Amino acid sequence: MKRSELTEFAVEEEGFKLKIRRGANGLPIVSSSRSSNPPFPAASEASAPQPAASAPAPAAAAAAPKDEAGIVYVKSPMVGTFYRAPSPESKSFVEPDSKVTETSVVCIIEAMKIMNEIQAEVKGTVVEVLVENGQPVEYGQRLFKVKQG
């Protein structure tokens, strides 16, 4: 922001608002609002205690027993556009029944014109691809169903 001499920047897209403004001391002030938890806390929220963070835990615990034993989900670490292959002409990184390791690249998520390779972070076999190629994804959204082992 200093290099570009910006004093304020705001983005609003599909229920998500982000506003960054340079304070009097030159440090950025971030505020965001969203229907679900953001991937990062706003600067004003970072130092405050977050009792709301404990609220999703019971929901996650309730969902856990419904999940199959030995099944892990590769989740999106960011908001962006999901791509199964490095280019439209290339074959997909993984298909159902593909073996993956912790460092296997399983997809790309494009965020702000940057292509981010997403790794499986688990060793096992891909059971199902849960997102269509070219579809937008949310932070924490399940992308792949993987059977550990």
* CATH at 115: 2.40.50.100
Looking at residue 133, its amino acid is: N
Rounded to two decimals, what is the model's pTM?
Answer: 0.55
Position 144 in a domain: yes
Q: In this predicted structure, what is the pLDDT of residue 125?
A: 94
Count of domains for the chain:
2
60-69 burial: b if 16+ Cβ within 10 Å, else e? eeeeeeeeee
Print the domain residue range for 87: 69-148
Q: What share of the chain is helix, strand, coil (3-state, %, to 5)?
A: 15, 40, 50
Q: In this predicted structure, what is the pLDDT of residue 126?
A: 94
Q: What is the pLDDT along the chain (149 residues), one digit of tens a residue?
A: 667 777 777 777 777 777 777 665 555 555 555 544 444 444 444 444 444 444 444 444 444 445 678 899 999 999 999 999 998 899 999 999 999 999 999 999 999 888 999 999 999 999 999 999 999 999 999 999 999 98
Position 45 in a domain: yes
> Are both 45 and 78 inside the same structural domain?
no
> Are both 87 and 130 inside the same structural domain?
yes
> Are both 139 and 73 inside the same structural domain?
yes
**CA atoms in the 13 A half-sphere facing the CB of 100:** 30
Count the neighbouring beta carbons within 10 Å of the beta carbon of residue 15: 9
> Are both 95 and 25 inside the same structural domain?
no
Q: In this predicted structure, what is the pLDDT of residue 1?
A: 62
